[in-house]
Structure 1
Amino acid sequence: MEQVETGAAVRHQQENWDQLEHPADSGLTDDQEPEHDADHDGLGQWGLFGPRTVTWRVHSDPLIGLATLRGLAMQVLHPEGMANVFATARRVDDPWDRLQWSQRHMGAVIFGNSIEAAMTGARLRAVMGQVSGWASDGDEFRGDDEELVLWMHCCQVASFIEVTRRGGLDLTDAEHDAYIQEQVRTAAVWGLEPDQVPATRRDLARYFRRVRPQLRMTHEARAFISSLLSPAVPELIAMTQRNRPSWAPVAGLAWSSLPGWARSMYSSGPGDGAGSLTPSAATVALHSLRDALLVARH
């Protein structure tokens, strides 16, 4: 990645993500931090979580936006899950609109109080309940089917923790497991029963092995990722500006950070730039981008 291009991408992402500020960035000092976390917060001040949870550390990381994008690239590999992704975007060819929608709703659940989290979950379930169609096996499905909601949840959880940790967020293996366990609370907001939801790294890996035979590359999924990595540019602009959009390196990096089995399903990714990085090179790039975003944030 060229330095100038990366710098432009960092500035672009910082401008977009500044509007998604949350309590963790609001200047809370040590003497303001409550003595108890969400588990002991009887008044619901901190909602599902609190400043001392691993969840707040993960979702305060500057790479969380890129991780959300990576989660979307995983979610669309499920043919029925694709319908849920499109249901929450104004345009099916605008992944950035869907990204902002996901960021707003996840922010309300993670950092909002108990009422905000509950209302956000109710809104999401209402939207998903309006999605319906026919699965590849001929059976009718609804967007709020438990298996579909579980797929959406697991893609998000895996992406949030793996991207931020690969990018340099200092978490132990025990804290990694603690994050996944904490996210069972988020799954409950989406309407899932706790015993349905993977609560450890091993459980999450087993889940993906179980569900992979149901996944496939569809025309819609390929169009979605293409609109992310190679967005349509008006002809007049294309004639005067040959460079890729400033967000292209970050979008390509989100694609490169996908697990190997997901990348192989796309069969071919971007031919150059951040989208062509090997897993080890993607990890280095995540470190570099996170460092740059931390500098820009402060």
Structure 2
Amino acid sequence: MSVVERLRARVGDALFLRIAGPGGYAERDRIHLTPGPRWFAPDSPIRRVHGDSATFVGGLRALLLQSLHPLAMAGVAGHSGYRGDPWGRLARTSTFLGYTTFATAEHAQEMVDRVRAVHERVRGRAPDGRPYRASDPHLLTWVHVAEADSFLAAHQRYGEKPLSADEADEYVAQSGQVARALGAEDVPRTVAELAASLNAYRGELEATPAALDAARFLLREPPLPWSARGPYRLLAAGAVALLPAWARSSLEIDSPFGRILGGPAGGVAVRAVRWGIDPVARQGRRW
């Protein structure tokens, strides 16, 4: 193995373990090596989107967009530990995505049941006094809409093989299947319905102090060593560039630099991640 290949292997392992957590390889084996029917076919749009390195950008965009709903953000701030344990939260999210996209139908349903049980315990009051429940179908739909819109936008901009229009509609329908299993209602089934649903939530969205704090944390104070902050900032710039202009303005993260160079920066970062993680994928170690 050449020096470059060894470097790629080390980078790939580091990326995978950072995303999937210390037990990531064991979870990966359970996801891929357990025989049985799956929710989605091997070459389905949802597998293509969630298996591409562009999900790094899409996931960050989704977190920023989701933070604009005051009740959803109150739940995150009060229960997720995003400041105290951000990598643990990332590992839990990526594991859920891995199971529901690639695992057997039995294991996917087990993961959904586990998350629903957690959601039942997450409740409280936002700073303005309004009650919230993580199991609220309306909030679940918002979280799903923000995620589906973000993953799709990132894939179409930075993915290795962008989807056709029909495939994009199929992706929305397939990701909606998971959202409905979690308890979401009125889930969009096409790209047009996804855009309409996102717009319908606009009147409920607000950049609360918690949302602004989350944006600062994600974009300016990432829990990374200094050596990794440069590449991360490229990913972050790509995520910000994909946000709607109204979301960038609300979160106070709009800038001429981001509008002009954020997209190219995100492209460079995704290609770099793909370069590092491809050896892991070839060894069957990727979600």
The reply to whether TM is greater than 0.5 is: yes
Report the CA distance between 1:187 and its aligned residue.
Answer: 1.3
Amino acid at match of 2:172: I
Equivalent pair of 1:87/1:128 in contact (CA under 8 Å): no
Q: Does 1:293 align with 2:266?
A: no
Report the CA distance between 1:137 and its aligned residue.
Answer: 7.3
Q: How does 1:21-36 map to 2 (within 5 A)?
A: none
TM-score by structure 1 length?
Answer: 0.75
Q: How does 1:89-108 map to 2 (within 5 A)?
A: 89-92=80-83, 94-108=85-99
Equivalent pair of 1:45/1:113 in contact (CA under 8 Å): yes
Aligned residue among 50, 56, 59 for 1:65: 56
Cα distance change, pair 213–122 in 1 and its aligned pair in 2 (3 A): same
Q: How does 1:1-298 map to 2 (within 5 A)?
A: 15-17=14-16, 20=20, 45-86=36-77, 89-92=80-83, 94-134=85-125, 139-168=130-159, 169-193=161-185, 196-231=186-221, 244=229, 246-269=231-254, 276-278=257-259, 281-296=261-276, 297-298=278-279
Amino acid at match of 2:214: F
Larger mean Cα displacement after TM superposition, 128-137 or 153-162: 128-137
Return the alpha-carbon distance in structure 2 between the equivalents of residues 202 and 183 of structure 1.
15
Larger mean Cα displacement after TM superposition, 89-98 or 257-266: 89-98
Return the alpha-carbon distance in structure 1 between the equivalents of residues 207 and 219 of structure 2.
16
**In the alignment, what sits opposite 1:31?**
none
Equivalent pair of 1:44/1:114 in contact (CA under 8 Å): no
Q: Sequence identity of aligned pairs in percent? A: 28
Amino acid at match of 1:17: F
Alignment deviations for residues 57-88 of structure 1 (CA, whole Å, 9 cap, x no partner) = 11111111221121111111101111333466
Cα distance change, pair 198–242 in 1 and its aligned pair in 2 (3 A): closer
Equivalent pair of 1:68/1:102 in contact (CA under 8 Å): no
Equivalent pair of 1:87/1:127 in contact (CA under 8 Å): no
Gaps of 5+ in 2: 1-9, 280-287
TM-score by structure 2 length?
Answer: 0.77
Cα distance change, pair 200–184 in 1 and its aligned pair in 2 (3 A): same
Cα distance change, pair 73–91 in 1 and its aligned pair in 2 (3 A): closer
Equivalent pair of 1:70/1:254 in contact (CA under 8 Å): yes
Report the CA distance between 1:133 and its aligned residue.
Answer: 2.6
Cα distance change, pair 133–87 in 1 and its aligned pair in 2 (3 A): closer
Gaps of 5+ in 1: 1-10, 27-42
Return the alpha-carbon distance in structure 2 between the equivalents of residues 199 and 49 of structure 1.
16
Report the CA distance between 1:242 and its aligned residue.
Answer: 10
* Structure richer in helix, relative to its length: 2
Amino acid at match of 1:162: A
Report the CA distance between 1:139 and its aligned residue.
Answer: 4.4
Equivalent pair of 1:63/1:290 in contact (CA under 8 Å): yes
Larger mean Cα displacement after TM superposition, 66-75 or 130-139: 130-139
Equivalent pair of 2:74/2:127 in contact (CA under 8 Å): no
Return the alpha-carbon distance in structure 2 between the equivalents of residues 257 and 13 of structure 1.
25
> CA RMSD, aligned part only?
3.3
